Amino acid sequence: MPEINVTPLGAGQDVGRSCILVSIGGKNIMLDCGMHMGYNDDRRFPDFSYITQNGRLTDFLDCVIISHFHLDHCGALPYMSEMVGYDGPIYMTHPTKAICPILLEDFRKITVDKKGETNFFTSQMIKDCMKKVVPLNLHQTVQVDDELEIKAYYAGHVLGAAMVHIKVGSESVVYTVSVNKYAKSHISAWIDKCRPDILISESTYATTIRDSKRCRERDFLKKVHETIERGGKVLIPVFALGRAQELCILLETFWERMNLKAPIYFSTGLTEKANHYYKLFITWTNQKIRKTFVQRNMFEFKHIKAFDRSYADNPGPMVVFATPGMLHAGQSLQIFKKWAGNEKNMVIMPGYCVQGTIGHKILNGQRKLEMEGRATVRLLISFALTKRLIHVGKLLACVFCFHTLQLDVKLQVEYMSFSAHADAKGIMQLIRMAEPRNMLLVHGEAVKMEFLKGKIEQEFSIDCYMPANGETATVTTNPSVPVDISLNLLKREMALGGPLPDPKKPRTMHGTLIMKENSLKLVSSEQALKELGLNEHQLRFTCRVQLQDPHSDPDTLHRIYTHLKSVLKGYTIQHLPDGTVMVESIVIKVSSSAEDTNAKVLLLSWSYQVKHRHCPCSRLSKLGQKHNRLKT
Amino acid sequence: MKLYCLSGHPTLPCNVLKFKSTTIMLDCGLDTTSVLNFLPLPLVHSPRLSKLPGWISKDGTINLEKELKDCAGRVFVDSQPEFCLPERELLDLSTIDVILISNYHCMMALPYITEHTGFTGTVYATEPTLQIGRLLMEEVVNFMERVPKAQSATCWKNKEIQRMLPGPLKDAVDVWTWKRCYSMQEVNSALSKVQLVGYSQKVELFGAVQVSPLSSGYSLGSSNWIIQSHHEKVSYVSGSSLLTTHPQPMDQSSLKNSDVLILTGLTQMPTANPDGMLGEFCSNLAMTIRAGGNVLVPCYSSGVIYDLLECLYQFIESASLGTTPFYFISPVANSSLEFSQIFAEWLCHNKQTKVYLPEPPFPHAELIQTNKLKHYPSIHGDFSSEFRQPCVVFTGHPSLRFGDVVHFMELWGKSSLNTIIFTEPDFSYLDALAPYQPLAMKCVYCPIDTRLNFHQVSKLLKEVQPLHVVCPEQYTQPPLTQSHRSDLMLELQPPPMPYRRCSVLNLPFRRRYERVYILPELANSLVPSEIKPGVSVATVSAVVHSKDNKHTLQHGITEVKVEETADGHILHLQAEDTLIQLEEDGTHIVCDNNEPLRTTLRDLVLRFLQKL
């Protein structure tokens, strides 16, 4: 039985470092190649030695597919392709191809230039890696080779995010990142009822069922507004690209409508560029934005200005979007520390936070934070130096001298799941759409996955897998065999069922399957014999019936003939000159035995092909006996 | 398999293909050359046009003063311009299942077909084709509705009268089918039936046929189509280009192994080299501006204009035209320029890489930013106050019968300093200019048609090797005016099958095989025997299930329904119409007089009973 194997190298019962190996129909595909935000050592990249211990991966992988530009899905790509070694095709959508190298370069800068790590990929490696990228268009069927084809669907998670349908013969797998259920509002259809053998889905928000988006938006605006009104500052930690742009649009229109004056800032230099990408790739955003883009490009903001570090100390209310989104490093963390002590302020976490990050801690209600920083001679600037990842610290702590800093969190902490990860409802909807035969969950916490797994198995009665990293889930498939049937044969069978075949009434057909050089042809037996130059094997039956009749042989035959004619209505009966009677294709002969001329032997002969139901043989032989009795 | 040809225009085709059980319309081109028979629609009152004498036949018997006007020695219809529609009588258009659109120029008749024939199917087009097609339709509707004309001339269409009219009106065909422009409402309704597709996307039609668009290299989102089943393949080639302009290059290899290739949309200017024309365009433009004159470029709002602007972007500085204003006037000018920048996936490689930087793919963004190129929805409003001369104006419609261009013709036609440069190949420039004669303005004709020429197409056909080629009859003989140029026609072996308006062609096709799927259980039970090295044979007796044009083979009795009863179960073998009633203390088999089945069932039941 053919089978499909799925092995996560990352994101198996875990969030971050997505990297899933799929082998299907003899092809090996790597889905995503991400890094883990929570680690700074070897564990940050997937363990590629699982694929091969020595050497390059090119021989072992047919292609790599990247679902979207978040680093936990593409962060290990240059490491994999340039340092481990992979020269095959890497597929991603156009927006991903545009934005991914920028984020990789940013990531590299932080790691190498600021943290001083060596043995990391270089700028040149990122460029070389991107040269191996083949851009994907939505719905385009890409033939990776003769057998393997992939097709991308709109996923709506972030700009350029895609679901991929991977198909070899009649086996298929769908891989989807966090599907945004609002994806349906996009002009292109969501996903067809493609009935894949396995649907691999992220399950980051497996247990949350979020209220409507509009409610959340209203709630968000209300909270921001209240804080501004009482003179507080609002910090919104975000990732540079993605939901940040949507929140910007939301605030921008709100400010316009309410005529608010408090400044809105967006940190990091990437933003302007990011907005520019959104402008050029507007066909990948939602329909509302696309519709109005000629009159007013939504990504040209009037109220939102670039942030400068010194603004954080300005008095009065303000709203700041700062990166990164989990408060684990960088500007968002810096601002957080400055504002944490004032209860008038507010931090709104618009997305998921990985365990170990400050974001995760404060969302879990922790009010006193232990901040570790690399100690320097001048304690005064310790704030600036804690810039990069704190929670990784333990390892480094042995090497460097650390000091601990107590931070009281007095500001309000709000959580709003604006991040576009799939929630339970979205996943269930997707299953309903695609109708997979099996489900496989990745990129989520084990406990939550377990919950969703139960729900899926109960509701859809399909098997649901959730392999851990390095574990393989195996699904046996049962593909049907495509065969070319001769049209004559098909039509003949159809004609038997009447002029208009009743689709509910299946028809029986008999044919011969010829297997020759990878081709399978189903033809009628006669055609097969002709094509293969074979002679038909004739199977004949002859049955002897003894009867007493004083007449001569020809007379007996003639009497039988006339008798049959009167009894067997509706059959063609012929009396041939060579002394035989034919009833359809059944031959009847008469011979008399040498000893007793009255004892006649009736020979009935028919071939195997004569269909049983139409065959008058049995009646004939009975007739013979009757005849016999009559005479005697 | 049959092909119904509804349009005689080789570059604005409309054909219907009947293939297996589907009816597919290939393109929906609108022949707009009919508008040349009408008087121009001026934006502001034109004393010249309103004072034209009416036409009365020489013997005075026919008086159509109100409908026909004599202008510069030719007779024009004084009415809202009308278009020549695809043939609607040849077959019942409501039976059309799908319409495949190849590019935005070939969809202009869509509202006539989808709104007024009972059409209930789906239209397939790429996203740029839909968006820009919508703009072009919107533009024409706007041009027409801006200057409403109460009069709708019909008397001249009377066969008896038309016969008496001077040419070219006398020779106009099917004038009774000519129709006025559709409304915006009809456009919206027609376009709501469009389903978007991407290049190389495989679209299943009723399980019988698969269609797939391929990049054709002619315009943004332009496509050729493959229509195929498992064993037959038809390629539909329309408006394709091998030149490197802005769109994604043409996908040629996917056209290979076609049984039939339908070839339309070759260049209308087989003797004009687009590059040479572009050079001529620039030099004439510069010459006129230097002499203090204005340049008028009648054009469509999308397509070649992007290339013209890109060419000018490089040319402006070197020709020191930095201070000359360039105006682009159209109700959809802004939209067209904006839309061109957001279709990165559909552009050539060079333009794609720009988007990754991120920079706008077309340099007209910079021309707009630096105020060198300005766009206006019409000559009214801002334009009238900001307009400086000498200048260059791009505006439509290229037929010179409606749109803002009519105003510029009236304004600039009398001065020999000004130049009109024709770049669109769809209309004969002499016919276009006829109602404006006598003209003092200079006329330059540099038609830029990037579509395949005969040389390129014969090379292409040699490579992709279709078994049969079908094409408009115009391609099977040299053009009338150049009858000695045997290189300006298709010469193929076997010769192409020509079509004309209203032809019905029987395409030479013999379908021999069809795809069926053998279900795994049945496949496992087959016993193949090798009769020759590499050739195995197995006999198959199975049940054929046909659903949605897909056939599957499976084991004999499969349709079994199980019903729960109070005391046990009832099995219903549907195919045999046999009931098996299983209860605690008895089994009852009810069937027709089918001895073998009864025996088999009996044996089975007895065997199970023994086991129990």
ipTM of this predicted complex?
0.82
Is the predicted pLDDT of residue A382 greater than 60, yes or no? no
**Is A502 an 8 Å CB contact of chain B?**
no
Cβ distance of A142 and B200 shorter than 8 Å: yes
Cβ distance of A94 and B341 shorter than 8 Å: no
DSSP A114: I
| Virtual torsion, Cα A527, A533, A534, A538, nearest 10 deg | 60
Calpha distance A562→B267 (Å, rounded): 80
Sign of the CA dihedral B251, B253, B257, B260? positive
Tell which of B518, B526, B592 to mutate to test the A interface (max A CBs under 10 Å). Answer: B518
Contact assessment for residue A91 and residue A150, using Cβ atoms and an 8 Å cutoff: yes
Q: How far apart are the two ends of chain A, measured CA to CA in Å? A: 66
Cβ distance of A505 and B575 shorter than 8 Å: yes
Nearest alpha-carbon partner for A190 in A146, A233, A222, A154: A154
Would you state the pLDDT for residue B297? 97
β-strand partners of A347: A235, A413
Task: Kindly list the distances between the CA atom of residue B94 and the CA atoms of A125, B67, B89, B118, B194, in Å, as whole numbers in the listed order.
Answer: 58, 35, 11, 5, 16
Calpha distance B496→B27 (Å, rounded): 20
Residue A420, token pair as written in the block: 């576009």
Comparing A196-200, B82-86, B527-531, the range with the smallest average pLDDT is B527-531
Would you state the pLDDT for residue A288? 66
**Is A528 an 8 Å CB contact of chain B?**
yes
Task: Kindly list the distances between the CA atom of residue B157 and the CA atoms of A104, B6, B173, in Å, as whole numbers in the listed order.
Answer: 69, 21, 10
Would you state the pLDDT for residue B408? 95
Best-predicted range by mean pLDDT among B47-61, B69-83, B567-581? B69-83
> What strands lie across the sheet with B203-205, from one edge to the other?
B203-205, B209-215, B223-228, B233-237, B260-263, B468-472, B497-499
Task: Kindly list the distances between the CA atom of residue A577 and the CA atoms of A558, A581, B261, in Å, as whole numbers in the listed order.
Answer: 11, 9, 59
What residues of B are in contact with residue A192 (Cβ under 8 Å)? none
Would you state the pLDDT for residue A400? 38
Calpha distance B527→A513 (Å, rounded): 10
Q: Is A202 a catalytic residue?
A: yes
What residues of A are in contact with residue B125 (Cβ under 8 Å)? none
DSSP A428: H
Average of per-residue pLDDT across A613-618 = 50
pLDDT band at B181 (very low <50, low <70, confident <90, very high): very high
pLDDT digits (tens, 9 = 90+) for B322-367: 899 999 999 999 999 999 999 989 999 999 989 888 889 999 999 9
Percent of chain B with pLDDT over 90: 61
Cβ distance of B513 and A142 shorter than 8 Å: no
pLDDT band at B578 (very low <50, low <70, confident <90, very high): confident
Largest CA distance in chain A: 136
Phi, psi of B15 (to 5 degrees): -120, 155
Would you state the pLDDT for residue B5? 96
What residues of B are in contact with residue A188 (Cβ under 8 Å)? 196
Calpha distance B106→B13 (Å, rounded): 7
Amino acid at A571: Y
Contact assessment for residue B398 and residue B305, using Cβ atoms and an 8 Å cutoff: no
DSSP B183: P
Average pLDDT for chain A: 79
Nearest alpha-carbon partner for B138 in B86, B84, B191, B179: B191
Between residues A232 and A545, which one has the greater pLDDT?
A232
Phi, psi of A168 (to 5 degrees): -130, 115
pTM: predicted TM-score of the whole model, two decimal places: 0.82
Between residues A381 and A4, which one has the greater pLDDT?
A4
Task: Kindly list the distances between the CA atom of residue B372 and the CA atoms of A134, A296, B124, B341, in Å, as whole numbers in the listed order.
Answer: 37, 22, 38, 18
Calpha distance B399→A8 (Å, rounded): 63
Comparing A72-86, A186-200, A226-240, B150-164, the range with the smallest average pLDDT is A186-200
Calpha distance B419→B446 (Å, rounded): 12
**Cα-based angle A613, A615, A621 (whole degrees, multiple of 5):** 125
Percent of chain A with pLDDT over 70: 80
Is the predicted pLDDT of residue B146 greater than 60, yes or no? yes
Contact assessment for residue B223 and residue B102, using Cβ atoms and an 8 Å cutoff: yes
pLDDT digits (tens, 9 = 90+) for B386-436: 999 999 999 999 999 999 999 999 999 999 999 999 999 999 999 999 999
Cis peptide before B494 (omega within 30 of 0): yes
**Is A140 an 8 Å CB contact of chain B?**
yes
Between residues B552 and B576, which one has the greater pLDDT?
B552
Nearest alpha-carbon partner for A321 in A249, A423, A389: A249
Calpha distance A148→A136 (Å, rounded): 15
β-strand partners of A574: A582
Catalytic residue among A82, A171, A202, A246: A202
Average of per-residue pLDDT across A341-361 = 83
Best-predicted range by mean pLDDT among A33-37, A58-62, A377-381, B168-172? A58-62
Contact assessment for residue B227 and residue B208, using Cβ atoms and an 8 Å cutoff: no
Task: Kindly list the distances between the CA atom of residue B427 and the CA atoms of B108, B240, B269, B447, in Å, as whole numbers in the listed order.
Answer: 16, 19, 11, 10
In angstroms, the separation between the Cα of residue B230 and the nearest Cα of chain A is 9
Comparing A363-377, A555-569, B526-540, the range with the smallest average pLDDT is A363-377
**Percentages (nearest 5) of helix, strand, coil residues in chain B:** 30, 25, 45
Would you state the pLDDT for residue A542? 80
Calpha distance A559→A602 (Å, rounded): 12
Residue A90, token pair as written in the block: 């890497």
Would you state the pLDDT for residue A421? 52
Calpha distance A583→B317 (Å, rounded): 99
Query: What would the DSSP string read from start to end of B230-272?
Result: SS-EEEEE-S---S-SSBPPP--GGGTT-SEEEE----S-TT-
Amino acid at A33: C
Is the predicted pLDDT of residue A405 greater than 90, yes or no? no
Tokens 């803002």, residue located: B404
Would you state the pLDDT for residue B299? 95
For β-strands B529-532 and A481-486, DSSP reports them as: unpaired
Contact assessment for residue B296 and residue B467, using Cβ atoms and an 8 Å cutoff: no
What residues of B are in contact with residue A137 (Cβ under 8 Å)? 198-200, 345
Is the predicted pLDDT of residue B117 greater than 60, yes or no? yes
Phi-psi region of A373 (alpha: psi -120 to 50; beta: other; left: phi over 0): beta
Residue B25, token pair as written in the block: 């319309």
Contact assessment for residue B362 and residue B341, using Cβ atoms and an 8 Å cutoff: yes
Tell which of B210, B521, B546 to mutate to test the A interface (max A CBs under 10 Å). Answer: B546
Between residues A7 and A324, which one has the greater pLDDT?
A7
Between residues A609 and A97, which one has the greater pLDDT?
A97
> What strands lie across the sheet with B578-583, from one edge to the other?
B560-564, B568-573, B578-583, B586-590
pLDDT band at B127 (very low <50, low <70, confident <90, very high): very high
Is the predicted pLDDT of residue B110 greater than 50, yes or no? yes
Tokens 């300093």, residue located: B417
pLDDT band at A132 (very low <50, low <70, confident <90, very high): very high
Is the predicted pLDDT of residue A587 greater than 80, yes or no? yes
Interface of A with B in 258-277 (CB under 8 A): 273, 276-277
